[in-house]
Every structure is written in C-alpha cells, then in structure tokens.
Amino acid sequence: MVTGAGQINDPDINEIVSQLPLVHQNSPDTIMWRHPSGQFSVKSATELIQPPKDRVVWHGLLQGRYKIPRHNFILWLAILEKLSTLDKHWISRGDNGCVLCDGQYVESHDHLFFNCLYTRRCLQIVQRQVRFHWPLSGWQQCIKWASKRWRYEHLINAASRALLAALVYYIWIERNNRKFTATSSAAEYVARRVIEEVWLRILSDKFIPSLQTRTLYRIWKIAWPIGL
Ligand SMILES: [Zn+2]
C-alpha cells in the first residue's frame, strides 16, 4: 500500500497522492505492505483481498490428537443434524418412534444425544468410569458449550472430544443395528466399547512424560510407565 509518493510517475497515483493530507512532514515517503507479516507474498495478498471466513463455533470439536476419523464423520453429521433421524418425515414415513427406548419419543438429534433413556444410560456409565462432564440440555446448546469448554489443546480436552465422538458414533451404530438388523446390545456394552476405543487411541499415541499426560493417565486409569 502506498503511504506517500517519492518518485512515482504514474499520473493517476500522483493525482490520488495530491489529495492526501501531508502527515509526515519531517520524514521521507515510504512504501509499505500492510499485512501483519510485513512481507509481500501471494498468500498475504490473497488474505488482504479475501479475508478468511469465520470458522464455525464447533470447528475445534473435530480436531485433536486422539481423533478417530470414522467417529468424527458421524459426529460432524450429528452436529449438522444430518443423520437420518426419524423426525424427518421423508425418512420415517409415519413410524418415527425411537428404537432405543420404548418408542414413545420421536427420534431426533435432541432425543438421541442424550435425552433418550438408553443413551442417557450409556453416558452415565461412561461418566462413572472417566471424568466427562456433559450438560444435559438441547443438543445444539451442548455443542456450543463443548466447543467453548474444550477449545484449548490440552490432552484432557482432546480426550473429551474423542469420547464425545465415540459416544455419538456407537449410539448411532446401535440405533442402526436395532433398526435394520433387529439386534440389540445393552447400554453397558456400548459404553464399554466407547471407553475401550478412546483408551486404546490414547495408549497408541506417542508417549510424552508431562504433567498433562500424568493427569490424563490418572483419569483414564492407564498405568504410568515404571521408571518415569
Ligand atoms: Zn429413545
């Protein structure tokens, strides 16, 4: 961007410069690139011309070192309320009762996560085994809450994000099993699979001896390596 004119020969630029107030009377004119980096590049030019779009508030929920892609895909659909729940009349064609509880409640994202008796029980069993706070409110309010609560890249937060994704994934798998294969599992089984999968994901990550790791291992009941 031009802040003054020294040896500029372009008549259009000179006309513009002539209209500008003289703000630096005792210093020479300079040309500077008004980007935070101060350096011209194609990237910085693109950012100046087209500022980055606002990220959605839940963007961070799908990030983190313990993320499991297939879980995150289902969580992403759930956040967008794009799972094929039966509250959508073009999917249910009349029978829209939740297959996880007694069928008296309409299956919706709000109901499945976690107002359903069955999924609430899954959540409670998980909470008895690992520290996982979840506000029992509307699904979208909870997503906003979690996005803010777990926004920092702390190992505990990364594990909480992975746990939420695993819960949503296995609940959706159980729902599909009941609906399409007429098989069912107890809430204890679903909760155990959720915990096992995140537990294994944490264990398979590179071990870094730190206070964060020690806290995480204590919460997840993972034995601390002998000698460290
Ligand atoms: Zn239900």
* pLDDT one-digit tens code per residue, 126-183: 999 999 999 988 999 999 999 999 998 899 999 999 999 999 999 999 999 999 998 9
Q: Are residues 24 and 67 in the same domain?
A: no
Q: Are residues 29 and 66 in the same domain?
A: no
Q: Are residues 32 and 85 in the same domain?
A: no
- Asked, for residue 212, whether it belongs to a domain, the answer is yes
Q: How far is the CA of 179 from the centre of ligand 1 (A)?
A: 12
Q: Are residues 94 and 45 in the same domain?
A: no
* Residues 68, 197 contacting (CB under 8 angstroms): yes
Q: How far is the CA of 25 from the centre of ligand 1 (A)?
A: 74
Q: How far is the CA of 145 from the centre of ligand 1 (A)?
A: 23
Q: How far is the CA of 118 from the centre of ligand 1 (A)?
A: 6
- Asked, for residue 206, whether it belongs to a domain, the answer is yes
Q: Which helix (H) or strand (E) holds 26?
A: none
Q: Are residues 213 and 146 in the same domain?
A: yes
Q: How far is the CA of 117 from the centre of ligand 1 (A)?
A: 6
Q: How far is the CA of 111 from the centre of ligand 1 (A)?
A: 6
Question: Which residue did the predictor score with more confidence, 69 or 227?
Answer: 69
Q: How far is the CA of 96 from the centre of ligand 1 (A)?
A: 11
Of the candidates 143, 166, 134, the residue with the CA atom closest to the CA atom of residue 61: 143
Q: Are residues 101 and 44 in the same domain?
A: no
Give per-residue pLDDT as tens, 183-201: 999 999 999 999 999 999 9
Provide the domain limits for residue 121: 59-219
- Asked, for residue 3, whether it belongs to a domain, the answer is no
- Asked, for residue 1, whether it belongs to a domain, the answer is no
Q: Are residues 16 and 114 in the same domain?
A: no
Q: How far is the CA of 63 from the centre of ligand 1 (A)?
A: 29
* Residues 142, 170 contacting (CB under 8 angstroms): no
Count up the domains in the chain and report the number: 2
Q: How far is the CA of 194 from the centre of ligand 1 (A)?
A: 19
Q: How far is the CA of 116 from the centre of ligand 1 (A)?
A: 4
Q: Are residues 122 and 36 in the same domain?
A: no
Spell out where the chain has E strands.
none
Q: How far is it, in rounded angstroms, from Cα 47 to Cα 62?
A: 25
Q: Are residues 36 and 63 in the same domain?
A: no
Give per-residue pLDDT as tens, 22-47: 555 667 777 777 777 777 777 777 66
